[in-house]
């Protein structure tokens, strides 16, 4: 997951780097158990991106990340 300094100004490039970095993992991998329930990687991950440019605000990009990875987050 390597980004150039200039890539940090692009929400798309940051998201693509996370997709590439996490793409080798299985979203159904059990990270731990909580109160007897399995907690899967895809249910434990959250991605908030704020590009390094004036005027950009932090946005939750978790849904797009999971879609791009082909993982479906369990509805609560």
pLDDT tens by residue, 5-31: 999 999 999 999 999 999 999 999 999
Supply 33's token pair. 């158990």
**Distance, first Cα to last Cα, the chain:** 30
Q: What is the largest CA-CA distance in the chain?
A: 45
Q: How many percent of the chain have pLDDT more than 70?
A: 93
| Residue 17 or 75, more confident | 17
User: By three-state DSSP, how is residue 39 classified?
Assistant: strand
Q: What are phi and psi of 31, to 5 degrees?
A: -80, -40
In the structure, what pLDDT confidence band is assigned to residue 68 with cuts at 50, 70 and 90?
very high
Q: How far is CA 12 from CA 39, 57, 70, in A?
A: 28, 14, 17
Q: What is the pLDDT of residue 8?
A: 94
Q: Where does the pLDDT of residue 1 fall: very low under 50, low under 70, confident under 90, or very high at 90 and above? A: low
Domain ranges of the chain: 5-69
């Amino acid at each position: 997951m390597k980004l150039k300094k200039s890539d940090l100004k692009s929400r798309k490039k940051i998201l693509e780097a996370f997709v590439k970095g996490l793409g080798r993992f299985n979203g159904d991998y059990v990270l731990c158990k909580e109160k007897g329930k399995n907690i899967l990687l895809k249910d434990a991950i959250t991605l908030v991106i704020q590009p390094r440019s004036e005027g950009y605000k932090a946005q939750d990009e978790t849904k797009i990340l999971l879609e791009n990875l082909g993982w479906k987050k369990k509805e609560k």
